[in-house]
Structure 1
Amino acid sequence: MIRLNLFLLALAIVCALSVVTSQHRARKAYGELQKEQEVARQLDVEWGQLQLEESTWAMHSRIESEATQRLGMQMPGATRTQVVGPDGTAVGRIATKADLKE
Structure 2
Amino acid sequence: MTRFLIAIIVVATVITAIGVVHARHQHRQLFSQLTRLENARDELNIEFGRLQLEQATWAESTRIDQVARERLGMKFPETADIVVIRP
Which AA in structure 2 matches 1:61? T
Which residue does the alignment assign to 2:4? 3
Structure 2: segments with no counterpart, 5+ residues? none
Three-state SS of the structure 2 residue aligned to 1:20 is helix
Q: TM-score with structure 1 length normalisation?
A: 0.77
Identity %: 30
Structure with bigger helix share is 2
Which AA in structure 2 matches 1:14? I
Structure 1 distance, partners of 2:51, 2:44, is 10
Structure 2 distance, partners of 1:44, 1:14, is 44
Structure 2 distance, partners of 1:34, 1:62, is 41
1:1-102 aligned at under 5 Å gives the runs: 1-81=2-82, 89=86
Higher normalized contact order (CA 8 Å, seq sep 6+, divided by chain length): 1
Structure 1 distance, partners of 2:83, 2:42, is 50
Q: TM-score with structure 2 length normalisation?
A: 0.90
Number of residue pairs the alignment of both structures matches: 86
Runs of 4+ aligned structure 1 residues displaced above 3 Å come to 80-83
